[in-house]
Structures are given as structure tokens and as C-alpha cells.
A and B are shown apart, each in its own frame.
Chain A
Amino acid sequence: MTTRRNFLSQLALGSLLSGATPTKAKSIIYLHMSGGPSQIDLFDPKPQLKRFQGQDLPASIRMGQRITGMTSGQSTLPVASSVFSFGKYGQSGAEFSELLPWHQKIADDICLVRSVNTDAINHDPAITFIQTGSQQPGRPCIGSWVNYGLGSENKNLPAFVVMISQKSGINVDQPLFSRLWSSGFLPSNYQGVKFRAGTDPVLFLNDPEGITPSTRKNILELSGQLNAKRAAELGDPEIETRIAQYEMAYRMQSSVPELMDLSKEPESTYALYGPESKKPGTFAQQCLLA
């Protein structure tokens, strides 16, 4: 049986990477903060903004770039710098604002990329672009490509898992879409499997009341044995695959809850992730799970 930690160590990156360059990476954890604060307020102060504060955005900077319909009706486009103060930290002298006091202390352990730019000017196309490389819907997401190209060494759990932090009740933030973890034109088994907060992390993982453990086992075995007879009769290898997938589903019924079980985490771990990490579905707890 796979434990939580050992599952994580097997996630995503597999054999193909063992080619030209030896790699130490075993898994990828990708945090996508939809609606997070601007880099200008966090780690990319852009000092020239202060110089031009309040002035109209110079044409030499804008160079004809389009602007979102939210601001295109404005008569002026004043430059606004961050209202937060920045300092240089660590030996690298990386810049962080006062909003990131903890990052200041680990400045030399972080790789900051400040050269990223985009054509997207609106929320939906921007996050679709980040995840799929195209502003328009329809292409596979990065997780699906990694899954397709590298696969997983773990046979008990899906290779590509998605977790969404939830608010109570309906969202009032910008929406998310299943396209962000979709396999696009790749076969659908490369899409992200959503692990949900709460007691049923994978859709239909838990048997409902009335399906007792021995009933589940009987259903699994009865259909498995009947399938095996059919396979022997017809010779279709797809039936053997089906039998194997049912067995994996049965194993997942115990391996996934184990993976999602944080009850054995020491208090010191919770302390590192903050008090929110004890609440299911919060961003903090999803980080801890990841």
C-alpha cells in the first residue's frame, strides 16, 4: 500500500527523464494563485513607476499595446506605482515588499523570474494561456502534457491531480474552468483528476451506505470472474485491462483516503502551514496535502 509521502515521491515524473540529463525531480507541485496580488506589490517593484507616478503612460512604453475594455474608455491612463515599501534581501539582493516578510528571510532560496510577459489582457484568456499555452480554449494543459510525456511510476493513483481551494458557499472570485486541467485534444485519460476537499476526494470513491465492505468485495470479484471468463472466450485484451482497472479502483478506495489523511501530521507541521491548514478545502490545507 502506498503511503502519502511515498505517493508524492512517485508523482508525475518518470522514466523518460532518465535520458540525457540526470534529474533529481520526482514530482511537480504547481500552485496557481488565481486572483493573487500583483508582482508590482510583491517582488517586482519597477522603480521607474515612481518617476512617472500619476503621469499618462508614455507612448514609448505602451507602443500601441491594446488595453482591456475595463480601462479603454478612460481619458487618461495614469501610471501608478506600488504603495508598499520594498527592500533588498539576502546575498542576492532580491527585492521584496513589506507584504512578504517571510520571503525576505529566504530570499536566497527562491528563484525569481521577473521577465515573464504576456499578450493576455483579461482574466480568462490569461489563465487559459498560462495553463495551456493558448488564450483560446481547446488545448491540453501543462499537467496533461507532463502526464502524456512522462507518465507516472505510481500504479495505484492518478499521475496528475488537481486541488481547488474552496470558499464557503458559492464563489464570488473569478471563476475557474475544467479546461485548466483538461487534456484538450489528447486522450481524456491525461486530464487532471480532481481531488476534492472533504470525505469523497475522488468522484464516487466511497461506497455509499448499504454497500458493505464484503458486498463491495463480492461485486468486484463476481464481475472480475465473469469478465475473466468472457476474456477467455472472446480473446479481447481490453477485458483484461478492465479487470485490472477495477482492481486499481478497489485499491484506490483505501489508498486515496490514506493519502488525504492528515490526522497523523504532527502539530509542528500544522504550525508551519498556519491555523487555516486544519480546515478542509482551504488553500493552506491544500498546500499541506500537496
Chain B
Amino acid sequence: MRCLLFFVAVVAWSKPVEFTRDVRPILSDACFHCHGPDDSSRMAGLRLDTKEGAFAKAIVPGKSAESLLVKRITHTNKALHMPPLSAKVQLNEAQVATLKQWIDEGANWEEHWAYQKPQKPAAKSIDEIVKARLVKEGLTQNPPADKATLLRRVTLDLTGLPPTPAEVDAFLADKSAKAYEKVVDRLLASPHYGEKQAMHWLDLARYADTHGFHIDSHRDMWPWRDWLIGVFNKNMPYDQFTIWQLAGDLLPNATREQKVASGFNRNHVINYEGGAIPEEYQTEYVVDRVEATSTTWLGLTMGCARCHDHKYDPIKQKDFYQFFAFFNNVNEKGLDGQRGNAAPVLALPSETQAGLLKEINEAVASREKQLEAADVPAQVKAWEAERKFEAPSRTGLLAHYEFEGNMLETTGSYKHGKYLGLPPTPRDGPVGQAATFDSTSLAEAPAAHDFDATKPFALAFWFRGGNNLDPLVILQQKDETGWLFTHDTIFSIGDLRRGAHLIVKFFGPGGAALEMQTVAPFGYGDFVHFALNYDGKGNFTLLQDGKPAELKTLKNTLNGANFKTSAPLTVTKLVGSLDDLRIYGRELSAAEAHQLAVVEPVRYLVENSGIRRTKEQVATVREFYLTYEAPAATKALYARLQQLKRERKELEEAIPTTMVMEERAEMRETHLLIRGAYDRKGEKLSAATPGFLPPMPAAAPKNRLGLAQWLVNGEHPLTARVAVNRMWAQLFGTGLVKTVEDFGSQGEMPSHRELLDYLAVRFVESGWDMKAMQREMVLSATYRQSSKVSPALQERDPENRLLARMSRFRLQGESVRDNALAVSGLLNTKIGGKSVSPYQPPGLWEDVAYGAQFTAQRYEQSHGADLYRRGMYSFWKRTLPPATLATFDAPDREKCVARRATTNTPLQALALWNDPTFLEAARHLAEKTLTAAGPDRAKRLRQMFRTATARYPNAAELALLEKVTGEQLAEYRAKPAEAAKLVAIGESKAKYADVVELAAYTSVASAILNLDEVITKE
């Protein structure tokens, strides 16, 4: 970590001491812990954070020698010295001197600056204030940056993308006085402006595409993200922007958009770990909302007051829970999210979808009404009394296991097989009972059944998979030769519906094998009937639930070898259920398969009418009747109804949803939680804003809407300051208050308090106009300065807090990616929509994944144009955020983050060298240049360098580029196979014919994309 020195070092001032700047920080650091706002830990009844407390006995204004405070901090008796010698924070001589001087000068007391309403200063511009300060410091501003640098800077700042060479040309050519202003207005109107602003807001909103916590499965909040980008582009005023996000759902007759906006406070992590206690997590969600809201709008670390009164700021624990009460009335569950979005959810059908859904619902309702009128249960009852079923044919039936609590073979031999280990559990199956195996139970048939490659046979059974996710053998009859049924790893289809493919294997001697797999997956967790036919001549067919199912051959080395075996039929370590296993010495017809899969379960129920039917069994009989046996008109009606329901399901699955805020009908009670524990309830509280801030108007509703309106009523001391400070930090790298997340007494004092207030007042006066605010900032001479720095200034002001130059700092991770894609021409500029999955080394998600039955456990890389979307659209999995973005300091989005670190590490170098995104971009940059710039090497390199940096290389730089290009041409000429491999990186195909030349320029382009200048805003 670089050592950072705040330029307003606390030393003994020859000038008068200012309380807020010089004194309060000392008291806060050294004294407040025991003599601060926290009632429960206050010592000796002394409090130094309020004027009344401090002046009661500790301070005599004008007389430091008589002040108890000074006596104690200078006391020579170790037992009486303050702070106690055991305390971590001790005062140095300079600090003691400052305190003395302050008291001697009259002990002027100011309340904490950030809690006082900003006052409009006399100064009329940003530059006036910055320059006045520089004059005091004996410094001057840098000259303006050159035009190309300025254009690249402002384009990256406002859109997150670099300028195109044509835009650079146009700006250089425009000699008018308004040239720069025109550019700024063009950029503010660009649709990419909204993307850039949203990119920062997503960190505050802790936006992600997964729920976080334990299983971390998929969620859809991208409709909220799309809304966000849209309103930044439309320049929605910040007050409205605030109200919609905190309470859009509570606005009168809230529109769909306003409800979507309220999703800001649904972006938090959501848990559904088995065994977790719902109330505990529901409490955490509310705490998270308090923290995110207070950090984003108030610049306060309210989270500190969850367990006790704040040690440094006047936030009481009670204030925390009164604020908590605003967010505690959401109609949510403590554990949710298994099936995608967690309630409350808003469906977002398109107009067409909404119309269609309405139509289908009406059609379904009318047909259900007709069926009801036909009194189906009475029809079924009458039909059952009449209907006589035929049993399935026993011709060629070699064996039949009914699994009625045993392993009895019932075709006539009546031999018992064996259950080994713990017997399988008998449970209701499709036909009577089924045997449910877990991994501790085995079964073995009494004898081998005859399966011979030269004879036809059929094998039919019911199967339902259990909870095991890895492939397990369903049934087998095998030693060296033989056969087995298994399935592949279970995967999710949609929300938690699970599927797998059936796999059939036959083995000949010496490792010869035939492997086949179903093309369509079967629903895992439901009973499925399989019937495998063999014609005796090498051909297999499969019937699934009585209908032909396609089998594809995965492997065939059998070549007619026989798979005959003397091993008995066994069930080994199966987790799942089996029922009604039949073995025939012939093939089954489709009608017979249908009889086994569809008719048999019904025959069993009808013929055993004494058995009390489950709900599912009643439905099975009803469905059979309506599908096959009812009068023609009723059958047609039912078929249409089923069809409509399928269509409705498909439509509903296609309609996106987003999570929103929604109030419960009955208020949830809020209590102060003792030590923050959800199950230690103290005093009952209702919603209120913190006592040390201006109160809410008496008439305001005491809900989120009232809270949001209070934040933006123009009287609030923090809202505007916090917002403009964040905008400043985006442009200048550091906020005027460096701790953009903390304006409290442990936060840093503003470097230019007057400037912060000027901007805050301007912002409110402009009607909270975000674009106008940023426009004013980027048009300032302060912003337009060159970023060059002399060693003397670097030493004096390493963090550029005095603004005698423009700050120069690395692009944020997303922009590092976007910039490379943009300069290479690869960038897909599509805005919004679902997140995408760019290249990522294999196995990263799988290392941390749970089971395949949950969503977002396996990384499924996107293809085609989706590989080249902006970084902000990368699928954000909280337990493993996008790898390269994380290397460039992107947060995991588990919590609200107001300020990212900007590190400089070797891992970043490795990613820029070898992430295929950047190598593919290098190749496209090279290809683009080679195609457009003609054959001259210098011209090519000048153009390539300029595309990436917005400036032409100087002579020395060009000489270096030319030299290395020559070496690289020689290298790849000698190794054409390597050249071919380099240009093959990435899914897009190289078009430039001369592969050696392309590879050589690709390597040089890679070096250019790795330049500090390219990943930095200068």
C-alpha cells in the first residue's frame, strides 16, 4: 500500500486554529471512544462530542491552563494521564499544542460541518475556488492538456469508451471557441453516457446476477439495470431518481417503471441455505438496506450503530432501528430464491405477451368452466364401474419384478432375489409399490436373465431418480460382458426443474462396448417409464413413457461381439426408485409400451378400488379418462385445455421478472435489537429519521416515500453533498471528501469545503440536474489541466488534493476491457438486456459450486457477439465475480461499495497479456490497421498507436515500435505454425491473409494494449 499523507497535516498552526479542521478530528480520534456519543461506554460522565458536554467541566474558554482537559492530557501522573496509557491512540505534542491554542483562542465550537446545511459561497465557479486555494498554497494550475488527451479523458469519463480516431480528427480540426463544449454536449447525449453512470451506481446498489450466500444461484435484476441506464440517459433529476429507487412502489398509482426502480433495495444478497432461520436472514436484508441507503444517500456508516450507539457520530442505536423500520415492511420471506427471483417479484411482459396471456387465461377459464359443468368426477365414477381392463400380454415374458416390498420374480418361477444391506423403502409407485433405494441398499435377482446379441429381447421398467447428482447405475447385469443403464450428470432446466439423459451400455469381451444416450432429457425426480427393444440383429430402439424416443450412439466398438453374461441382474448403489421391471424374450410393440406406461397405472387403481387414492392418483385416473376414454367432444375439449396450459407455461417462462419493493398489508413490528441480534428484541420502535439531522415534516408519511422525500427536500445537509462528491470522485479520482462513504466525524474533512458546498447548492438549485453538474465540472479549467506533475509537486501533494494538475489514474476494470474492445473494433455496443458470459478460464465456478440441480453453478460461456459486450454486462456471480474484472478491483457485490481500490499488481499484467479477450482484441487492432493503413510499416504503426492512445507516437517511440515489429516479423517468419496459433486465439476468425504479418503486428498491438497509457485516463 502506498503511504498516503493528508495534506492538511495536523501540526501546531501559526494561523488561528479552526475547530472543524484542526480540533474536532483530534477529539474524535483520541477521546470520543470513551467520551463520545455512546451512552453505554461513556466514562466519568464526560462527553466531548457536544458543546454542552465539553464546556460543562472540561474546558474553560481562553484559559487552557485552567482547563481540566489540558491538565489531564499533560498530566505527569501516569494514572491520571489522558488518554490512558493503555489506549491505542495517544496524543503527540503538536496535537496537545493545537488543543491548548484552540482553548486559548476562545475555544470556538462548531457543530460537525457535514450536519449543517451547505451555504452558498460568494465564489462563482469551481475554478475560482480551486485557484484561490492554490494561491494561498503558493501553487499555480497546470496549463491545459493537449486537445487529444483532453478528448480522450472526457470521452472515457462521460461514456467509459475511448474516442474514435475520426472523433479525434474532428476535434483537432474544430478551432472554434466552443469546440470542447460541443464535444461535452455530444457525449452527454450519447447512449453510452447512461452506461458509464450506471457502471458506478451498480457498486452502490450491490447489483449482481446471483443471490449470493451459500448456493448463489441465478436471479434476474437486469430489467432494473436497464431502467437505470435509461434514466441516466434521460437525465432524470436526482430527487426523482432517489424517490423512485427508494419508494417507487409507494408513489400514488405507481407505474411499472416506478416499481422496477424500487428494485434498488432488492439487490442485496438473499439466502436459502437449508437449515437457516428465516427471521435471522430477513433481519439481515433490512440491515443491508439501511447500510446501502445510508452509504449511498447520507454518506454515513450507520451499520456501526446496529449493535451499540455509534462511537464517533451522534447516531444512536435507536436511530439505527428507527431507520431500519422504514425498510422492515417488505412482503418478503427470510429464505427465498430457489426458483430464480425472490418475492416480491414483478413480471414484465411486453404488450404482445400481456395481450396473449390475457387471451390464454380467458380461454383456459372458459374451458375449465365447461369441464366443470360436465361433472367429470361423476363421469369417471360411472366409467370406472363399467370399464374392464386387459392385463399386459405375458407372451415371451421371461421375468417380472413388481417390487411389492420384495425382490420376488413373479412370472412363475416365484424365486426370491436378495436385498443386501438395508432393504429399499417401499413407497407408492406407478403400479402398486415401488422400491426406493438409497446408497446403502443393494438388490440382486435370483438368476441371470438371458440377454444374447443374437436374440431379440425387451427390457421395461419405471425409474425415478433420487437426490444424488452424480451419475449412478440404475440397473445392470454385468461382469466383463453384459449391460447397464445409467444417466449423465443431472442438470437444471429453468428454475430447479431437473433433467438428465438416459445412457444405455452394452459390453462385449475385451473392452468392446456400445454406448447410447437419449437425445432429449427426461425429467429427473418424476417416474419415467423406459422400454428398450432389441431386434436380435444389432438394432436398439427406445420407448419412453410409451412413445418412441430417439437414441444417439456415443461410442460403438462392439462390432457384433456378444454381450451375453452369466452375471445376475443387480441394483447397485442406486439412489432412486424402481417399479414394475419386465424382461421379454421379444420386442414390445408401441401399443404394448403404451399399455405398460399409461394404462397399467390406471388399471391397477381401478382394479384395486378399495385403496384410498392420493391426490396424484385421482388426477392420474381423471387424466386417463379425459385423454382416452371420454366422449369425443369432452376429449377434444380436454386436449385443447391441456394445449392451452402448455402454451401458458411457455409464455410465462418467457416473460422476464424483476424483484421489487412491496409493502406488507399488516405492518411488521420493529424492535431495537440488543447487540444487533435478531432474536434479542428490545424496545418497540417505529420509523423515524436520525435525531441529529433535520426532522421530517410532521405531515410526511412515515414510510419509505416520506424518507425519500425528506432526503431530497433541499434542506438536507448531506444528500446533495454526498452526490456531488461522488461525481467529483468519478472524474478526479478522489472525492473532495476522500471518504465518499463516510461524511461523519471519522470521515475525512473536505479538501475544499467551500467548493463542495458550492457544488451541492448549485446541484439543488439546478433542480438536481446530474448532466448539468457533470457538465460544469468537465468544463472547468481545473478539469482541463494537463496531468503532468513535477517531482516537487508530486512530493508535496502526492494525491493531488490541491488540484494543481489533473489527476491521472487507471481505468476501472470494466473500462479496461471496454477500451480494448473499442479500439480494436470488436466491441458490441448493444445496450442492456440479460447478462452475458465472456471468456473465462474453465473450472472457476465449478471450484466453488454446489450441485448441478441449482442454477448458475456451471459457467456456460457465451458465443458470437455476446463475447464482446461491455464489462458491465458480464454475468456477476457473487461467490466468484468475473475473473479479469476482479483482478482489476471489481467488488464481489456482496455489500454496497462507494469507493473501489485502484491497485497495480502483476496479476493485472498477466490478465492483459493472456486473457483471450485482450489477445483477440490485439489481433483485431492489428488486422484493422493492416487493412486500412497500406503497406508502409511506419504508417501502420503510427495509425495503430494512435487508435489506442488518441495520439501519434513521437520519433523515439516510433523507432522502438518499428524495431520490435521487425524482430517480430522475423520471429514469426521463422515459426509460421506459432503465427497461425496466435491469430487463432478467440472465436472470431482472422480474415487477413498474411498470417505471419498479422501475428507480428498482433504481438505489437498486444504490447500497445498493455501500455500504462492505454489503461489510464491521462
Contacts and interface: CB of A to CB of B under 8 A. Distances in A.
A267 to B, nearest CB: 29
A210 interface: yes
Nearest to A177: B879
Interface in A168-193: 169-172, 174-179, 182, 187-189, 193
Contact of B909 (A68, A176, A245): A245
Given A164-B847, A189-B901, A230 B1013 contact: yes
Interface in B963-1005: 964, 967-968, 971, 975, 978-985, 999, 1003-1004
Contact of A227 (B982, B1006, B1011): B1011
Interface size of B as a range: 35 or more
A188 B891 CA distance: 8
B988 to A, nearest CB: 15
Interface string A190-221: 00011010001011111111111011101101
B1007 A222 contact: yes
Most B CB atoms within 10 A — which of A70, A136, A243, A248?
A: A136
Given A171-B849, A207-B913, A137 B212 contact: yes
Nearest to B894: A137
A214 B1007 contact: no
A246 B1011 CA distance: 10
B291 to A, nearest CB: 9
Contacts of A246: 906, 909, 1010
Contacts of A125: 276
A279 interface: no
A137 B895 contact: yes
A151 B894 CA distance: 26
A231 B887 CA distance: 24
B269 interface: yes
A202 B964 CA distance: 28
B271 interface: yes
Interface stretch (A17-25, A44-52, A233-241): A233-241
Contact of B892 (A178, A212, A221): A178
Given A210-B978, A230-B1012, A234-B789, A171 B275 contact: no
A221 B891 CA distance: 31
A222 B275 contact: no
A176 B971 contact: no
Contact of B808 (A137, A196, A223, A238): A238
Contacts of A182: 892
B857 interface: yes
A66 B679 contact: yes
Contact of B789 (A200, A218, A235): A235
Nearest to B883: A203
A252 B1011 contact: no
B909 A200 contact: no
B968 A215 contact: yes
B937 to A, nearest CB: 15
B274 interface: yes
Most A CB atoms within 10 A — which of B215, B216, B276?
A: B276
A202 B791 CA distance: 36
Interface in A222-276: 222-223, 225-227, 229-231, 233-239, 241-243, 245-246, 248-250, 252-253
Contacts of B1016: 238
A183 B23 CA distance: 33
A189 B905 contact: yes
B789 A210 contact: no
A87 interface: no
B961 A204 contact: no
Contact of B470 (A172, A193, A219): A172
A123 interface: yes
Contact of B983 (A72, A207, A210, A238): A210
A178 B879 CA distance: 5
A242 B273 contact: no
B4 to A, nearest CB: 11
A236 B810 CA distance: 12
Most B CB atoms within 10 A — which of A196, A205, A215, A236?
A: A215
A101 interface: no
B1004 A171 contact: no
Interface stretch (B115-123, B195-203, B254-262, B914-922): B914-922
Given A137-B895, A210-B985, A236 B919 contact: no
B772 interface: no
A287 interface: no
B910 A175 contact: no
A209 B846 CA distance: 25
B253 interface: no
Contact of A249 (B791, B906, B981): B906
Contact of B957 (A70, A205, A207, A229): A229
B299 to A, nearest CB: 16
Contacts of B894: 137-138, 179
Contacts of A249: 906-907, 909-910, 913
Contacts of B887: 203
A170 B846 contact: yes
Given A179-B894, A219-B1007, A202 B910 contact: yes
B790 interface: yes
A153 interface: no
Contact of B841 (A70, A204, A209, A230): A204
A205 B1013 CA distance: 23
B851 A172 contact: yes
A122 interface: yes
A245 B906 contact: yes
Interface in B441-470: 468-470
Contacts of B276: 68-69, 122, 124-125
A121 B979 CA distance: 57
A85 interface: no
A209 B978 CA distance: 7
Contacts of A3: none
A248 B906 CA distance: 6
A6 interface: no
Contact of A170 (B269, B849, B895, B964): B849
Interface in B480-503: 489
A166 interface: yes
Contacts of A123: 214, 273, 275
A248 B914 CA distance: 15
B274 A69 contact: yes
A245 B1007 contact: no
B365 interface: no
Contacts of A174: 214, 850
A176 B848 contact: yes
B903 interface: yes
Contact of A210 (B810, B884, B979, B1012): B979
30 contacts: A68-B277, A70-B274, A123-B273, A137-B269, A138-B895, A170-B489, A170-B851, A170-B857, A172-B469, A174-B850, A194-B847, A204-B910, A205-B910, A208-B985, A210-B981, A218-B1007, A219-B1003, A222-B1007, A223-B1007, A223-B1011, A225-B960, A227-B1012, A230-B1011, A234-B789, A236-B789, A236-B808, A242-B1012, A245-B909, A249-B907, A249-B910
Interface of B: 1, 212-216, 269, 271, 273-278, 284, 335, 468-470, 489, 679, 787-791, 794, 808-810, 841, 843, 846-852, 857-858, 878-881, 883-884, 886-887, 889, 891-892, 894-895, 900-901, 903-911, 913-916, 919, 956-957, 960-961, 964, 967-968, 971, 975, 978-985, 999, 1003-1004, 1006-1008, 1010-1013, 1016, 1018
Interface of A: 66, 68-72, 121-125, 136-138, 158, 164, 166, 169-172, 174-179, 182, 187-189, 193-194, 196, 200, 202-212, 214-216, 218-219, 221-223, 225-227, 229-231, 233-239, 241-243, 245-246, 248-250, 252-253
Given A188-B901, A196-B843, A229-B956, 19 more contacts: A123-B214, A125-B276, A166-B847, A169-B846, A175-B216, A176-B879, A179-B892, A179-B894, A188-B886, A188-B889, A188-B903, A189-B901, A207-B914, A210-B980, A210-B982, A210-B985, A226-B1007, A231-B1012, A236-B789
